[in-house]
Structure formats: C-alpha cells, structure tokens
Structure 1
Amino acid sequence: MGEALAHDVVRPAGVLGRALDLSCRAFALGGGMVLAGMALMSVASIIGRAALNKPVTGDFELVQMGCAISVTMFLPFCQMMRGHIIVDFFTTNMPARVVTMLDALAAAVLAAVAFLIAWRLTLGLLDLRGSGDSSMILRVPTWYAYVPMVPSFVLLGLAALYTALMNLLKVGA
C-alpha cells in the first residue's frame, strides 16, 4: 500500500514538448520559491512572536495567498510527470491500450477544466481589480494573487493537451 506506482515518465523529445516541459519546470521552481519564502516568513514570524512579542504583521494573509499561488504553479509539472493521483481499481485488468485511451480522455477533460478555470480566474482578477478588493491587514490587492494563477492554469491546460496527444499517439503506434 505504501509503495510507489510504477509509471513511464519520458521527457518530451520534440521542440514543442521540450519547451512545454521547461516551462512546467520553471513554474514548479517558481512555486517552490514562493513556498520557501512562506516558510522563511513563518519562521521569522514565530521567532518574532516568541522573542520580541512582535510577529510579522499579516503573516496569515501572505501564507493564504502564497499557498494558492504555489499550489497552482506546481500543477503543470505534476501533469507532465504524470504525477496526479489516479484510481486504477477498475482498470487494473484492462488491456494497456484501453488504459492509455482512458488516460488520454482524462487528460483532455483536465485540459478543458484547466482552461475553464483560467478563464474564470481571469474574469475574477478583472472584477477584483475593478472593485479594489484587498486583504484586511496589509491591504494587499486580492487580485495580485490571481496574476500567477491564470498562466499556471493555462500551462496546466497545455500540459494536459500534450499528454493527451502523446497518449493518443501511443495508442496509434
């Protein structure tokens, strides 16, 4: 139950695939940097609270925004590495060709959902920007957090389309 599932992760070979893979890796690195920044800020806030009775003001607001940003920035890389959780209970005994077709279908559905979310996030960003909504303590405009999230979901959609296409080509081979 605790063992890792074996699956083929092949680095893309074509120019488009390599560019997409590099973009996904860059976004994941950016998400990791946001996560590391939140960790350092949390440590500074804890030390400040304990030693000086002065935590970092608005630390929870920054963590809230940073978590949303970092998670969305990790998603495209996770898709390229086929790292999303799958439930293979029903497909365990199916032929590999059928499983690959189902994987292609799932990736295509993910692409559609990712593009839908990117569109809705864009509309939300514009609405929040227009209304001037901001966090309560630091008064950071809420729409700032949406800025890296929109391209993250677009990249997730592109990565999902790419993996769907690769699965379809695998079935056709």
Structure 2
Amino acid sequence: MSGKIDRWEKFASSFSNWLNWAAGVGLVAMLSLIVADIIGIKFFKWPIPGAIEMVGFLGVVVTAFAIAYTQVLRGHIQVEFFVMRLPRRAQASIIAFVSLLGMALFALLAWRSYDFAQVLQSTGEVSMTQRIPFYPFVHAIALCCIPVCLVLLVEFLKSVAKAVQK
C-alpha cells in the first residue's frame, strides 16, 4: 500500500509543482503589467486600458494555481497547539479527519466553480473594459481544486496508515 501512496504523492507533488510554475509566470506577468501601467501613467500620461481588470484576472491565476503546491509544502495555517499534545494515533486520526474535510471542501469548490463557469460561459459574461470572458478563469479555479484534493487524499491515506499502525 505504501508504494501506491508514494506514487500518488509523487504525482500530486509534480502536478502541483507544475501549477506553481504557472502561478509564478502569472505573478511575473502581473508585476510587469503593473510596472508598465505606472510608467505609462507617470511618464506618458497614458495608462494601459483595462490594466486593473487584467491584474485581477492574473491574481486569480496566481492564487488558484499556487494553492496545491502550498498544500504540498504544508504552508497553509494549521492550529497544532492542542493536537501536538495528543498521542501519535490521536494526532494521525485528527489529521486524517481534517484532510477528509478539506477534500470535501475542495471537491465541492471544484464542482460549484465548474457549474458557475458553465453559467458564465452560456450567458457570455465579460469584463467591462477589455471584454475578457470570465469563464476561463473560473474553470481554472475548478481545475486547480483537483490537485488540492489529490494532495489531501495522500495526506489522508498517510494519516490513516499511521493511525492503524502498531
């Protein structure tokens, strides 16, 4: 069983790392756009039309694409003060339960984001200035929830294995 978990963990980590690189590209694009907009405003009295919208969309890309890798690194806030004082099996059981809840939350988020993206696509909802469609970014949110679920599944399986271990 450990070999399969290790393979899943490696896949989840690799996929999350790839998404994190995409988030990094989005961050560089966002910063470049902001700098170009500021230079355009200050020196040429000409802002980039729709720059605020584009920065918002890039913010979605940066945030959504970085969530899974942050989970791989355990970079999210965890309150461990009480849990760390419990026996090892109890700790593993609580971590398994929390991972299961997280999986349910991100699965729900993926499902509802996908549904919302379908609605946005069918209604043709676009941004005001640049007329950029919203739905690809909401689809990206739904897509980025899947590797988070996978990372949480690996955490769940490892915690269950630790809890039942003698």
TM-score between the two structures when normalised by the length of structure 2: 0.91
Q: Does the 8 A contact of 2:5 with 2:157 survive in 1?
A: no
Q: Following the alignment from structure 1 to structure 2, what is the Cα–Cα distance between the partners of residues 32 and 168?
A: 34
Match of 1:41 among 7, 16, 33: 33
In structure 1, stretches of 5+ residues that fail to align are: 1-11
Q: Following the alignment from structure 1 to structure 2, what is the Cα–Cα distance between the partners of residues 115 and 20?
A: 15
Q: Does the 8 A contact of 1:111 with 1:161 survive in 2?
A: yes
1:142 alignment partner in structure 2: 134
1:7 alignment partner in structure 2: none
After the TM superposition, which parts of structure 1 deviate over 4 Å for at least 4 consecutive aligned residues?
Answer: none
1:119 alignment partner in structure 2: 111
Match of 2:63 among 68, 71, 79: 71
* CA shift for structure 1 position 18: 1.1
The 1:117–1:42 alpha-carbon spacing in structure 2 relative to 1, beyond 3 Å, is: same
* CA shift for structure 1 position 43: 0.5
More helix, by proportion: 2
Give the total of aligned pairs.
162
1:154 alignment partner in structure 2: 146
SS of 1:170's partner is: helix
Q: Does the 8 A contact of 1:80 with 1:163 survive in 2?
A: no
Q: Following the alignment from structure 1 to structure 2, what is the Cα–Cα distance between the partners of residues 135 and 49?
A: 22
Aligned-residue RMSD, C-alpha: 1.6
1:3 alignment partner in structure 2: none
Match of 2:75 among 83, 89, 95: 83
**AA aligned opposite 1:28:** N
TM-score between the two structures when normalised by the length of structure 1: 0.88
Q: Does the 8 A contact of 2:99 with 2:152 survive in 1?
A: yes
Please state if 1:58 is matched with 2:50.
yes
* CA shift for structure 1 position 171: 2.2
SS of 2:78's partner is: coil
Q: Does the 8 A contact of 1:69 with 1:145 survive in 2?
A: yes
SS of 1:89's partner is: coil
Identity %: 23
Please state if 1:15 is matched with 2:2.
no
The 1:119–1:13 alpha-carbon spacing in structure 2 relative to 1, beyond 3 Å, is: closer
Q: Following the alignment from structure 2 to structure 1, what is the Cα–Cα distance between the partners of residues 84 and 72?
A: 22
Q: Does the 8 A contact of 2:50 with 2:130 survive in 1?
A: yes
Q: Following the alignment from structure 1 to structure 2, what is the Cα–Cα distance between the partners of residues 21 and 144?
A: 24
Q: Does the 8 A contact of 2:5 with 2:154 survive in 1?
A: no
1:169 alignment partner in structure 2: 161
Q: Following the alignment from structure 1 to structure 2, what is the Cα–Cα distance between the partners of residues 81 and 140?
A: 33
* CA shift for structure 1 position 13: 7.4
**AA aligned opposite 1:166:** K
1:9 alignment partner in structure 2: none
